[in-house]
Amino acid sequence: MVVYAGQGDAHRSLALLWGAAPEPRTGRSGPKPGLSVDAIVSAGIAVADDEGMAALSMRAVGERLGRTAMALYTYVPGKAELLDLMHDRALAGLPAAPPPSDDWRAAVTAWAGALYDRYLRHPWMLQVSQARPVLGPAELTAMEALLGALGPAGLAPGPLRGAVSALWQFVRGTAAATAESRAAAAETGVTDEDWWTARSARLAELAPDFPSRFPLLTALQSGADGPPQDREQETFRTGLAVLLDGVAAAAPAAGDAPVPATRPGRAAGTGEGADTP
């Protein structure tokens, strides 16, 4: 529920995100730290995973570590920063960019699938306000991986930025939709499908003129065939395909695009020597 305290100094997060100097422990008095930023971030993720974003309070995180809420403030400036850290950490460890290959479509598809899965494993991430590019190392690594996968397509910098943004947002958005329908279903103890039909039934009841007011939506919806999971997967798959077609079309000399390239001029180099760290 709570997601982001607007003015939380992004600067304070930055230092922590990038592994605030581990401080040579020599020459420091006082009791040894019993906690660590890492442990706190892990506990926070555990709380959010287990009990949902609404249950993520400083008290809850502290409790999970056998401490009070205030103990956390020794390590972390506040809740907003903790959220930043959690979000970035939850993105860590995604597969690195594969070596550049002709089949950039497969590479980008794999990247998108991994990110999608990650979001669904930590649905609370989707409730962290995205009005906030935190620029943590894991997020940037994921973006670098996308750039690496996308590289062989040979986009110019402008379209490349656009494509990266479009891809990321698409994955996040579709993951959010899936997560929401799962959550709603789990909450009401009902299967996805039942929930959807109940929902549309209620809608039809409240807006009897629905089909005439929204003919295209009605047509689109009635075109659905399988259970909602399948529909979500299909949306993900086909939406991604549309995006990739766009990338292929925007690329000057794309490999497997069905579109004949008319402009041979290769624009400013987008580092094709992606050796992927």
Partner DNA sequence: CGAGGATACTTTACGTCATAAGGAGTTGTG
Partner DNA sequence: CACAACTCCTTATGACGTAAAGTATCCTCG
**Binders in 144-173 for its own copies, by CB under 8 A:** 144, 147-148, 151, 156-163, 165-166, 168-170, 172-173
Does position 31 bind DNA by CB under 7 A? yes
Decide which of DNA, its own copies, none touches 29; Cβ closer than 5 to 8 Å per partner kind. DNA
The residues in 46-65 that bind its own copies, with binding defined as CB under 8 A, are 52-54
Does position 10 bind its own copies by CB under 8 A? yes
CB 127 within 8 A of CB 2: no
Decide which of its own copies, DNA, none touches 129; Cβ closer than 5 to 8 Å per partner kind. its own copies
Nearest to 176 by CA among 128, 110, 139: 128
Find the part of the chain contacting its own copies (CB under 8 A) among 11-19, 27-35, 67-75, 109-117: 11-19
Contact with its own copies (CB under 8 A) among 92, 217, 226, 227: 217
On the 0-12 / 13-18 / 19+ scale of CB atoms within 10 A, 173 is middle
Does position 186 bind its own copies by CB under 8 A? no
Tokens of residue 155, six digits? 């986009």
Decide which of DNA, its own copies, none touches 199; Cβ closer than 5 to 8 Å per partner kind. its own copies
CB 117 within 8 A of CB 178: no
Residue listed under structure tokens 């422990």: 25
Q: What's the min distance (Å) between Cβ of 153 and its own copies?
A: 10
φ and ψ of 192, to 5 deg: -50, -45
Could you tell me if residue 191 is left (phi over 0), alpha (psi between -120 and 50 degrees) or otherwise beta?
Answer: beta
Q: What's the min distance (Å) between Cβ of 28 and DNA?
A: 5
CB 55 within 8 A of CB 76: no
Q: How far apart are CA 2 and CA 51, in angstroms?
A: 14
Tokens of residue 111, six digits? 């990247």
CB 52 within 8 A of CB 184: no
Q: What's the min distance (Å) between Cβ of 60 and its own copies?
A: 15
The residues in 39-98 that bind DNA, with binding defined as CB under 7 A, are 55-60, 62, 66-71, 73-75, 78-80
Does position 131 bind its own copies by CB under 8 A? yes
Does position 129 bind DNA by CB under 7 A? no
CB 248 within 8 A of CB 179: no
Contact with DNA (CB under 7 A) among 11, 22, 29, 209: 29
Residue listed under structure tokens 């996040």: 172
Question: Based on CB atoms, which residue is closest to its own copies, 52 or 71?
Answer: 52
